[in-house]
């Protein structure tokens, strides 16, 4: 796929607090991007006016509206409207790293005949204890870049930082779930893998995202974690579903419990902990309505 065009789809619902930073980073990468499509999913805050500023300044950025509420319809509308050969999807709180777009294009140029999708590594930009993760990500990226002819396979896609080929999307378009209680990125990955598609890690396509998921209440977090095993269930993958339940009980929920208070107390503006941060507004955007 040597001349592939990269389309980037950004679903957005009431993301005024974060979408400017997201689009600024994409603008920095715009030379390697064919188009950026923001899908406004019935925002009632200033999301649309912020996006319109970028649309007015850059012909590669556009905005479309999806009236059906939720991440699934917003994603589908964005992917269906895209004209590129590679369809990337990020969240409105994603901040792509330097060289992100070029890394995505290069991955599919080199491996597009063998890989139908890929995902980049992510860490949090507004949470504590991230330095170790970023160092480990740098090590993984360096190791992959040292062996570019041997890409690493990956079983999942991460919706905040993922890309698939347009051909792969068309092949699974009618097979993806429309349920609001499953993980849409895992659903796409399982649909692709059921066709024999291969997924990989994309070296150099790193990004940072908000840690706001860890700042939600326990009921919301439990409902979120249950989406994982439910996605495997609707695909008839009983063994994987059992594994997801064990991971939720032994890893995901204990990690959330351990991280909840530090994440709530952390003030990214000062890079320190503050009791006043407990009263910080915590929006989940379009994912909360998916």
Q: Are residues 206 and 223 in the same domain?
A: no
Residue 51: other Cβ atoms inside 10 A: 27
Give pLDDT, residue 146: 85
Please say if the pLDDT value at position 147 is more than 70: yes
Of 160, 180, 212, the position where a domain reaches its end is 212
Residues 225 and 94 reside in one and the same domain:
no
Domain boundary residue, one of 184, 212, 240? 212
How far apart are the C-alpha atoms of 269 and 276, rounded to whole Å?
A: 12
What pLDDT shows up at residue 284? 58
- Of 212, 236, 263, which one is at a domain's C-terminal end? 212
Give the count of domains, the chain.
2
CATH number of the CATH domain containing 23: 3.90.550.10
Residue 19 lies in a domain: yes
Q: Judge whether residue 289 has pLDDT over 90.
A: no
Structural domain including 190 reads 6-212
Q: Is residue 45 located within the same domain as residue 100?
A: yes
Instruction: Quick: pLDDT tens for 2-55.
Output: 679 999 999 999 999 999 999 999 999 999 999 999 999 999 999 999 999 999
pLDDT in tens, 53-80: 999 999 999 999 999 999 999 999 999 9
Instruction: Give which of 128, 102, 100, 68 is closest to 290, Cα–Cα.
Output: 68
Here the tokens at position 52 are 């319109």
Whether 143 and 222 map to the same domain: the answer is no
Q: State whether 104 and 66 are in the same domain.
A: yes
Q: Is the dihedral of CA 37, 114, 119, 107 positive or negative?
A: negative
Q: What DSSP designation does 285 have?
A: G
Same domain (yes/no): 198, 221: no
């Amino acid at each position: 796929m040597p001349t592939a065009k990269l389309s980037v789809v950004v679903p957005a619902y009431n993301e005024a607090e974060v979408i400017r930073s997201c689009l600024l980073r994409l603008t920095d990468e715009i030379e390697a991007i064919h188009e950026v499509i923001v899908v406004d999913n019935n925002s009632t805050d200033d999301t649309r006016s912020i996006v319109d500023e970028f649309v007015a300044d850059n012909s590669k950025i556009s905005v479309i509206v999806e009236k059906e509420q939720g991440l699934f319809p917003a994603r589908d509308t964005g992917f269906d409207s895209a004209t590129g050969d590679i369809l990337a999807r990020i969240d409105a709180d994603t901040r792509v790293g330097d060289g992100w777009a070029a890394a995505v294009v290069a991955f599919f140029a080199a491996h597009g005949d063998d890989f139908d999708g890929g995902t980049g590594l992510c860490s949090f930009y507004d949470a504590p204890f991230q330095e170790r993760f970023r160092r480990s990500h740098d090590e993984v990226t360096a190791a992959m870049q040292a062996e570019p002819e041997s890409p690493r396979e990956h079983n999942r896609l991460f919706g905040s930082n993922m890309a698939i080929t347009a051909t792969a999307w068309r092949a699974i378009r009618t097979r993806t779930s429309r349920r609001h209680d499953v993980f849409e990125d895992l659903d796409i990955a399982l649909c692709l893998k059921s066709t024999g598609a291969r997924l990989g890690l994309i070296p150099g396509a790193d990004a940072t995202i908000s840690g706001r998921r860890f700042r939600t209440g326990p009921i919301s977090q439990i409902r979120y974690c249950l989406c994982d095993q439910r996605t495997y269930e609707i695909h008839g993958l009983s063994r994987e579903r059992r594994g997801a339940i064990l991971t939720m009980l032994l890893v995901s929920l204990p990690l959330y419990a351990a991280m909840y208070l530090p994440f709530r107390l952390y003030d990214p503006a000062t890079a320190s902990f503050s009791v006043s941060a407990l009263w910080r507004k915590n929006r989940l955007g379009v994912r909360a309505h998916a």
